[in-house]
Amino acid sequence: MTGWEDIRAEVQARIRSGVWPLGSAIPHEEDLARDFGCARATVNRALRALAAQGVLERRRKGGTRVLAVPVRKATVSIPVIRAEVEATGRRYSHQIIWQATGQENTLHLETLHLADDKPYAHEVRVLHLAVLPPLPDLTAISINEWLVTTVSYATGEIAFSAAAADAGQARALWVPTGTPLFVITRETRNAAAQVITKVLLAHAPGYHLRTTM
């Protein structure tokens, strides 16, 4: 009857109804546990979930407060491109358009990802070889997929934007220069905060990145 999901819903209801206004502090876990007639751990689970959603802000000693500015948070999946293509029933392939070694032991790679032999996404990547194991044969497995399965879990930043196709992207994706492209840029670092790779991925027109709230 009083699962942590129920408590999450009840807390949300109290915020929405104004019992706990935006920006205000809410009672401590122990008080809430007594109110709801459950263990503190159950309250804790509910409040942690709300904090992860962006509804609450929690601080040791500072207590829990309702965020003054509600923020919707959505989780987006960044799949391996091969899986993304095959999920739509198409055949995946990729071509290395160009590669060169750069300064500081880096490898620059320009790759075209295809779905049923039609351009799907154009990728420009810089790899920092010093912080990576020896590379595999990149014609057999895309660098994208190899990194995900090989490198230990890493942190990084992602940015999504729209940009006009430059000459290289236009040629690779069979579109006129200036065509709007959905662009994902990523910078990935290993556990020691060393940059592993930087990527700029431009998707062919029609691409949508979908998620649910």
Q: Which long-range contacts (CB under 8 A, 24 or more apart) does 69-72 make?
A: 69/22, 70/22, 72/213
Min dist. Cβ of residue 69 to a second copy (A): 4
Min dist. Cβ of residue 101 to a second copy (A): 27
Sign of CA dihedral 172, 177, 182, 186: positive
Q: Which residue from 17, 18, 61, 149 is in contact with DNA, where contact means CB under 7 A?
A: 61
| Residue 184 touching DNA (CB under 7 A) | no
Q: Which residue from 156, 168, 190, 200 is in contact with a second copy, where contact means CB under 8 A?
A: 156
Residues 86-145 that bind a second copy (CB under 8 A): none
The three-point CA angle 201-204-207 to 5° equals 90
| Residue 44 touching DNA (CB under 7 A) | yes
| Residue 71 touching a second copy (CB under 8 A) | yes
Write down the residue that tokens 């196709």 correspond to: 165
Nearest-angstrom CA–CA distance, 111 and 93: 11
Q: Using the minimum distance from each CB to a second copy, give the nearer residue, 171 or 186.
A: 186
Total residues in contact with DNA, by rule CB under 7 A: 26
Q: Using the minimum distance from each CB to DNA, give the nearer residue, 59 or 73.
A: 59
Burial (CB count <10 Å: 0-12, 13-18, 19+), residue 203: buried
C-alpha Rg value of the chain to the nearest Å: 23
Q: Using the minimum distance from each CB to a second copy, give the nearer residue, 3 or 102.
A: 3
The three-point CA angle 11-14-18 to 5° equals 145
Site residues for a second copy per CB under 8 A: 12-13, 16, 22, 54-55, 69-80, 83, 148-164, 178-183, 188, 203, 205, 207-213
